[in-house]
């Protein structure tokens, strides 16, 4: 039953490929053709004796089959009588045709090889060739992709010729007949064969090959079956073609039906059924494909929807975070504005890449100017604004500082300089900034900062400087003025001493008695020499004080000769200079590998000599002085320490040791004028350095000296 349905389907398909023709049997031959027909007798014809149901030769030696039925119609309508030449097989028929033993071949495809000796009529039967495989084989869409596949075909067929050319990947097995080919596929001796659709249907049914199936077709491999005529009879072709054209699809269908005995449920119109079936099939396929596509799209849609929900959730979170951040940033911005307003500072932002400068209104207001008078929008306005506002003497220094800051990417920018207020007067500002760079390094660097009004402070500093200068001059002049009367006192004291000695030598000549003589003795030998000694010692002291004052005033005025100071060398030098003190006190000084600094070597020598000298001088009784000197380098400075195990300084006295003439312990046996540390402090501060001390009475002292590690301008 199933097989039957297949045949009906195959037959319906077959109908689609049948050639169309007219049943008009009246053919108007030309005179030439008519003459040919009259002159020629029967045309000899070879057929395939074993090609059922298309054609064969029956036991009575008669040509039978679909081709025979159709040839009968052609013969009838053309008037050409075909005379069968009996052969044993198709190969022999081909051979006979080549040898001229038969003038036509009844039913064959045209191939280039055959065209060498044959000319072909129009096809009078067409149908597709199909692949026949066993049930388990997959559908064949492209035979070129098959590897290790064998195809069995009858020898000498046109298909053999074409398959050999088109699909060299297939292993070809040749057999004698089509039924042998089917058998070989059935017995698994070959993977497939190829044959015409009706032939396949006929043989599967006849032989009962239920394990075989039609596994695909090649559109290019259709059978266009026509008659092959000996090439020397072209007129015969012209006579036969009009007859072939008269054959109708119904006649072909009838001939096929005669030899493929399938119980066909006669459809009113196969083409319509097929078209409807194909349309339904198409609709079904499209529907299925549509459904499948829809399901896929739905799945993708719901997946995308899920993702969308996730994304919108994330977006919501992001928006919330951003909103909070914006709120915080608005809060921060407001707070920063308030800070700046409260600090009374001017804010600025300078883009080092574009040269654009933005300044807050207060930046201008502190100079008594109005921000509206300046173009803050212009993309590279910095130099215009600065040229107008910076003091001409400080411009170069400001730009150099900024450039240095950018080159070295220092953490903070700090610079003090003068600007010009609205009246053209100097106005001191302290400018501080920070560099802002994005992590990608793509955006140009931006510096943001503030301007602080240090005008009053600077003016006060300048006043102090001037006063200090005046004081130094006064000190200098006074010291000199004091020194000349002192020299007079000293000189006259010497004169008095000399005259006194003369007088004393005269005294034994004066006769004195008793009490007077004792008193004279007292005056000459004790009182006058004692007073003279007192005068001398005070003159000395006064001299030292004047020297000290002069040194201080000189240090204040001296110009620093700044160079790199090799500290190990310097301490070594001091060690040698203080040789006597060290030897007498048995002091032990420990100092090595000190970092170097920048400064005036002579002055720094004075600093460290004073400090080491004090450390030896203020030793504890019966204790050997142990002095250690260290140095620690920081970013822009180096801090040296001088530690001793001496008598130390009381908490009360410690802050005053830097004052001129201050001596913590005047009863001390140690000599001194209380000038050394004042001098040291002045020198260190002249080097932009710092000095301080830590000490406990009876436990020793540590003096700290901080000095620059880079060259500086004094
Ligand atoms: P002086 O000429 O008196 O040494 P300085 O100015 O050098 O003057 O020192 C001031 C005072 O500080 C000294 O008189 C001394 O009392 C105290 N002093 C300085 N250095 C030390 C030290 N290393 N240990 C204890 N006291 C010190």
More confident residue, 532 or 25: 532
Please list, in sequence order, all residues whose beta carbon lies within 8 angstroms of the beta carbon of residue 624, skipping any fewer than 6 positions away.
Answer: 585, 586, 587, 588
Site of tokens 């040839």:
71
For the residues 600-611, what does the mean pLDDT come to? 96
| Residues 465, 596: Cα–Cα separation, whole Å | 30
Q: Quote the percentage of the chain above a pLDDT of 70.
A: 89
Query: Which of the given ranges, 398-412, 651-665, 672-686, 693-707, has the highest pLDDT on average?
Result: 693-707
Say if residues 433 and 347 touch (Cβ distance below 8 Å): no
Specify the pLDDT at position 8.
39
3-class SS string, 378-422: CCCCHHHHHHHHECCCCHHHHHHHHHHHHHHCCCEEEEEEEEECC
Phi, psi of 569 (to 5 degrees): -65, -45
Handedness of CA 43, 44, 48, 53 (dihedral sign): positive
Are the C-beta atoms of residues 247 and 129 closer than 8 Å to each other? no
CA-nearest residue for atom 4, ligand 1, is: 672
Inter-residue contact 87 to 98 (CB < 8 Å): no
Q: Between 528-557 and 676-686, two packed helices, what is the crossing angle to 10 degrees?
A: 10
How many A from CA of 614 to the centre of ligand 1?
6
Distance 465 CA to ligand 1 centre (A): 27
Q: Which atom of ligand 1 is nearest to the CA of 647?
A: 25
Query: If DSSP codes are grouped into helix, strand and coil, which group holds residue 701?
Result: strand
For residue 18, how many C-alpha atoms fall within 13 Å in the half-sphere facing its CB? 23
8 Å CB contact between 632 and 649:
no
CA of 650 to the centre of ligand 1 (A): 11
Residue 648 CA: nearest ligand 1 atom is: 25
End-to-end, the C-alpha distance of the chain in Å comes to 120
Ligand 1 pocket, CB under 6 A = 610, 614-615, 618, 644, 646-649, 657, 662-665, 672-678, 701
Please give the distance, rounded to the nearest whole angstrom, from the Cα atom of residue 574 to the centre of ligand 1. 18
- Which of 457-471, 492-506, 690-704 shows the lowest per-residue confidence on average (mean pLDDT)? 457-471
- Token reading at 178: 């089509």
Q: What is the pLDDT of residue 158?
A: 81
Ligand 1: residue whose CA is nearest its atom 8: 674
pLDDT band at 575 (very low <50, low <70, confident <90, very high): very high
pLDDT at 265: 35
User: Residue 513 pLDDT more than 70?
Assistant: no
Distance (Å) of CA 589 to CA 181, 329, 343, 571, 670: 119, 59, 51, 10, 20
pLDDT digits (tens, 9 = 90+) for 585-595: 999 999 989 99
CA distance 378 to 382: 9
pLDDT digits (tens, 9 = 90+) for 521-535: 888 889 999 999 999
Top mean pLDDT of 292-306, 314-328, 495-509 is at 495-509
Taking the centre of ligand 1 as the mean of its atom positions, its distance from the CA of residue 699, in whole angstroms, is 15
Predicted local confidence at residue 155, as pLDDT: 85
Higher pLDDT, 104 or 159: 104
Give me the mean pLDDT over the 569-589 stretch.
Answer: 95
Q: Which atom of ligand 1 is nearest to the CA of 679?
A: 6
Specify the ligand 1 atom closest to the Cα of 703.
23
- Protein residue with least CA distance to atom 16, ligand 1: 664
**Which residue, judged by its Cα, is nearest atom 14 of ligand 1?**
663
Look up residue 623 and give its two tokens.
Answer: 């204790």
Instruction: Give the SS3 label for residue 430.
Output: strand
Q: Is the pLDDT at 22 greater than 60, yes or no?
A: no
Q: Under a CB-based contact definition with an 8 Å cutoff, are residues 93 and 87 in contact?
A: yes
**Residue 258: pLDDT above 70?**
yes
**Predicted local confidence at residue 328, as pLDDT:** 78
Query: Which pLDDT score is estimated for 108?
Result: 92
Residue nearest to atom 20 of ligand 1 (CA): 614
The pLDDT-based confidence of 7 (bands split at 50, 70, 90) is very low
Please tell me the distance between residue 337's alpha carbon and the centre of ligand 1 in angstroms: 51
Stronger pLDDT, 201 or 670, i.e. the higher one: 201
- State how far the Cα of 665 lies from the Cα of 671, in Å rounded to an integer: 10
Contact 676, 551 (CB under 8 A): no
Has residue 14 got a pLDDT over 80? Answer: no
- pLDDT at residue 707 tops 90: yes
Ligand 1 pocket test, pick from 657, 670, 684, 693 with the greatest ligand atom count within 8 Å of Cβ, gives: 657
**Residues whose CB falls within 8 Å of the CB of residue 229, separated by 6 or more in sequence, listed in order:** 103, 104, 118, 119, 120, 121, 236, 237, 240
Q: What is the mean pLDDT of the chain?
A: 85
pLDDT at 130: 84
Query: Which pLDDT tens digit goes with each residue over 432-448?
Result: 999 887 666 666 688 99
* Ligand 1 center–CA 536 separation, angstroms: 25
pLDDT at 64 over 70: yes
pLDDT in the model for residue 290: 67
Q: pLDDT (tens digit, 9 = 90+) per residue, 123-143?
A: 999 888 888 888 888 888 788
Closest C-alpha to ligand 1, atom 25: 648
Q: Residue 590's closest CA among 603, 602, 572?
A: 572
Q: Measure the CA–CA gap between 498 and 282, rounded to whole angstroms.
A: 150
Residue with tokens 């000395």: 540
């Amino acid at each position: 039953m199933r097989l039957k349905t297949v045949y009906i389907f195959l037959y319906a398909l077959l109908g689609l490929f049948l050639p169309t023709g007219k049943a008009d049997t009246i053919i108007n031959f030309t005179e030439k053709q008519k003459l040919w027909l009259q002159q020629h007798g029967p045309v000899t014809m070879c057929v395939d004796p074993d090609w059922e149901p298309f054609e064969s030769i029956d036991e009575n030696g008669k040509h039978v089959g679909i081709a025979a039925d159709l040839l009968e119609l052609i013969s009838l309508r053309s008037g050409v009588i075909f005379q069968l030449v009996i052969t044993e097989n198709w190969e022999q028929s081909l051979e006979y045709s080549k040898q001229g033993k038969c003038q036509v071949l009844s039913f064959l495809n045209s191939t280039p090889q055959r065209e060498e000796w044959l000319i072909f009529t129009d096809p009078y039967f067409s149908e597709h060739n199909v692949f026949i495989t066993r049930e388990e084989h997959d559908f064949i869409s492209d035979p070129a992709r098959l590897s290790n596949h064998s195809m069995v075909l009858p020898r000498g067929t046109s298909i053999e010729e074409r398959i050999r050319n088109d699909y060299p990947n297939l292993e070809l097995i040749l057999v004698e007949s089509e039924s042998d080919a089917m058998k070989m596929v059935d017995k698994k001796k070959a993977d497939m064969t190829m044959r015409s659709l009706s032939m396949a249907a006929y043989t599967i049914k006849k032989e009962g090959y239920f394990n075989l199936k039609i596994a695909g077709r090649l559109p290019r491999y259709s059978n266009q079956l026509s008659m092959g005529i000996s090439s020397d009879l072209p007129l015969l072709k012209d006579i036969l073609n009009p007859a072939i054209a008269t054959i109708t699809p119904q006649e072909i269908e009838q001939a096929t039906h005669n030899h493929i005995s399938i119980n066909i449920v006669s459809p009113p119109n196969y083409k319509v059924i097929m078209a409807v079936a194909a349309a339904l099939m198409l609709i079904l396929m499209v529907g299925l494909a549509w459904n499948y596509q829809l399901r896929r799209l739905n799945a993708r849609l719901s997946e995308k929807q899920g993702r969308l929900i996730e994304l919108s959730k994330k977006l919501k979170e992001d928006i919330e975070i951003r909103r909070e951040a914006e709120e915080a940033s608005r809060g921060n911005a407001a707070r920063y504005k308030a800070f700046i307003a409260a600090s009374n500072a001017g804010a600025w932002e300078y883009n080092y890449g574009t040269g654009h400068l933005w300044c807050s209104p207060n930046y201008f207001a502190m100079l008594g100017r109005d921000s509206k008078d300046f173009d803050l929008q212009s993309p590279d306005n910095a130099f215009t604004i600065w040229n107008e506002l910076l003091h001409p003497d400080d411009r170069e220094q400001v730009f150099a500082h900024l450039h240095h800051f950018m080159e070295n990417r220092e953490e903070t920018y700090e610079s003090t300089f003068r600007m010009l207020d609205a009246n053209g007067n100097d106005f001191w500002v302290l400018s501080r900034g920070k560099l802002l760079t994005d992590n990608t390094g793509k955006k140009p660097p931006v510096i943001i900062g503030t301007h602080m009004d240090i005008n009053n402070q600077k003016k006060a500093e300048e006043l102090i400087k001037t006063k200090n200068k005046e004081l130094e001059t006064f000190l200098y002049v006074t010291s000199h003025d004091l020194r000349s009367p002192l020299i007079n006192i000293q000189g006259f004291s010497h004169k008095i001493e000399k005259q006194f000695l003369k007088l004393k030598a005269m005294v034994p000549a004066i006769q004195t008695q008793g009490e007077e003589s004792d008193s004279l003795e007292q005056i000459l030998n004790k009182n006058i020499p004692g007073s003279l000694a007192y005068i001398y010692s005070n003159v000395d002291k006064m001299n030292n004080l004047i020297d000290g004052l002069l040194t201080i005033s000189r240090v204040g005025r001296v110009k620093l000769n700044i160079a790199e100071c090799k500290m190990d060398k310097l301490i070594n030098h001091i060690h040698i200079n203080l040789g006597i003190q060290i030897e007498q006190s048995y002091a032990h000084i420990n100092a090595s590998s000190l970092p170097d600094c920048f400064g005036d070597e002579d002055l720094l020598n004075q600093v460290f000599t004073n400090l080491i000298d004090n450390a030896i001088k203020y030793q504890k009784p019966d204790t050997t002085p142990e002095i250690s000197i260290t140095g620690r380098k920081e970013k822009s400075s180096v801090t040296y320490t001088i530690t001793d195990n001496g008598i130390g300084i009381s908490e009360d006295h410690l802050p005053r040791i830097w004052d001129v003439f201050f001596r913590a312990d005047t009863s001390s046996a140690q000599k001194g004028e209380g000038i050394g540390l004042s001098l040291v402090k002045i020198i260190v501060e002249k080097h932009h350095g710092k000095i301080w001390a830590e000490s406990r009475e009876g436990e020793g002292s540590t003096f700290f000296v901080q000095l620059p590690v880079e060259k500086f301008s004094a």
